[in-house]
């Protein structure tokens, strides 16, 4: 760890730092200052401070409703970007029912212009999410999420003719489902898998690493089903606060498809089978 960077941070003198897990694309460190205070530092090599702009925006938006790490500082040091957050002293398990309730409360927040999208795009790996505002969720999700990911997958030569056939059918099914469903543009976490929440020492849920935009609240819920980590208590807590609309079970697979397509676009052929299986489900095969 560069001591000049540590001296630049608006916190007491750091006496200890060690690398920790921080996701797939950032370097991450746990810092301890001379008074025993702890912090979480993310570094993204060879990027300007704008790399963390959307995460900062998202954390600050979420913090108005749910628990998040506090943004303490973000900026550039040399050729690298950094983000300094408060450290969450976490434990492996906590109140999943309350986590469901908190997510539901977040989803009750609406977009400022009653449209879907956000006032800035965000990038995850090689995927840049186009958040241009749209008045209809169907066109936003199909064109600015699924179609964009499909193009990335094609560029990696991982999109097959069988996928294309099923994809065309799936899009028709999705458009048919949307005729009877008109979701409100809710504030979404945007990347809610099991690695993006934790529980503090009181067992309360803390949400991290958001990729916020305004969209169908079922988008977040669909992602929670992809890799597991969410218990039945979580879904019960959500429904207690904000019951789902009829037909949600038929729509959730499309949001699972989005997340699997994202992983195929970023991490390669190991996700081809999962994408194909989900395409078949969405297409009604």
Residues 185 and 267 reside in one and the same domain: yes
Rg from Cα positions in the chain:
20
Coil, strand or helix at 230:
coil
User: What pLDDT score does 3 carry?
Assistant: 85
CATH number of residue 42's parent domain: 3.30.200.20
Residues 48 and 12 reside in one and the same domain: yes
Residue 254 binned pLDDT confidence (cut-offs 50, 70, 90): very high
Q: Kindly state the helix (H) or strand (E) to which residue 255 belongs, with its residue range.
A: helix 248-267
In DSSP terms, which residues pair with 38 in a beta bridge?
A: 32
Q: Which domain holds residue 48?
A: 3-87
User: What pLDDT score does 124 carry?
Assistant: 85
Residues 35 and 105 reside in one and the same domain: no
Residues 35 and 101 reside in one and the same domain: no
User: What pLDDT score does 56 carry?
Assistant: 96
**Is pLDDT at 25 greater than 90 in this prediction?**
no
CATH number of residue 220's parent domain: 3.90.1200.10
Average pLDDT over residues 10-24: 84
Determine which of 102-116, 122-136, 142-156, 247-261 has the lowest per-residue pLDDT on average.
Answer: 122-136
Sort 42 into a burial class: Cβ within 10 Å, 0-12 / 13-18 / 19+. buried
**Is pLDDT at 22 greater than 70 in this prediction?**
no
Max Cα distance, the chain (Å): 61
Residues 67 and 95 reside in one and the same domain: no
Residues 83 and 46 reside in one and the same domain: yes
Residues 95 and 78 reside in one and the same domain: no
The structural domain count of the chain equals: 2
What does the pLDDT look like over 183-204, one tens digit per residue?
999 999 999 999 999 999 999 9
Residues 68 and 107 reside in one and the same domain: no
What does the pLDDT look like over 138-188, one tens digit per residue?
999 999 999 999 999 999 999 999 999 999 999 999 999 999 999 999 999
- Please calculate the CA angle 164-158-118 and round it to the nearest 5 degrees: 75
Task: Dig out the tokens for 36 from the structure.
Answer: 């025993």
**Is pLDDT at 266 greater than 80 in this prediction?**
yes
The model's pTM: 0.93
- What percent of the chain shows pLDDT beyond 70? 99
User: What pLDDT score does 211 carry?
Assistant: 95
User: What pLDDT score does 125 carry?
Assistant: 82
Residues 48 and 118 reside in one and the same domain: no
Residue 23 binned pLDDT confidence (cut-offs 50, 70, 90): low
**Is pLDDT at 24 greater than 80 in this prediction?**
no
Residues 79 and 124 reside in one and the same domain: no
- Residues with catalytic annotation? 191
């Amino acid at each position: 760890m560069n001591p000049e960077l540590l001296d630049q941070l608006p916190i007491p003198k750091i006496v200890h730092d060690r690398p920790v897990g921080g996701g797939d694309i950032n370097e991450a460190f746990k810092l301890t200052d001379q008074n025993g205070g702890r912090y979480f530092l993310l570094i993204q090599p060879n990027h300007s401070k704008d790399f963390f702009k959307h995460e900062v925006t998202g954390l600050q938006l979420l913090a108005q409703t749910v628990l998040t790490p506090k943004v303490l500082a973000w900026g550039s040091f040399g050729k690298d970007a950094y983000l300094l957050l408060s450290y969450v002293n976490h434990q492996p398990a906590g109140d999943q029912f309350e986590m469901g309730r908190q997510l539901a409360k977040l989803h009750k927040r609406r977009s400022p212009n009653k449209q879907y999208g956000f006032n800035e795009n965000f990038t995850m790996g090689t995927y840049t999410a186009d958040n241009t505002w749209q008045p209809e969720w169907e066109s936003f999700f199909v064109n600015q999420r699924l179609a964009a990911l499909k193009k990335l997958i094609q560029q990696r030569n991982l999109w097959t003719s069988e996928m294309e056939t099923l994809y065309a059918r799936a899009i028709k099914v999705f458009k048919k489902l949307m005729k009877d469903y008109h979701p409100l543009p809710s504030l979404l976490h945007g990347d809610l898998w099991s690695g993006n929440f934790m529980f503090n020492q009181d067992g309360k849920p803390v949400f991290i690493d958001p990729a916020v935009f305004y969209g169908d609240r079922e988008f977040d819920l669909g992602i929670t089903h992809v890799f597991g980590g969410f218990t039945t208590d979580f879904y019960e807590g959500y429904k207690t606060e904000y019951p789902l609309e009829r037909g949600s079970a038929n729509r959730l697979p499309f949001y699972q498809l989005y997340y699997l397509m994202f992983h195929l676009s970023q991490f390669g052929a190991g996700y081809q089978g999962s994408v194909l299986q989900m395409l078949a489900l969405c297409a009604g095969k």
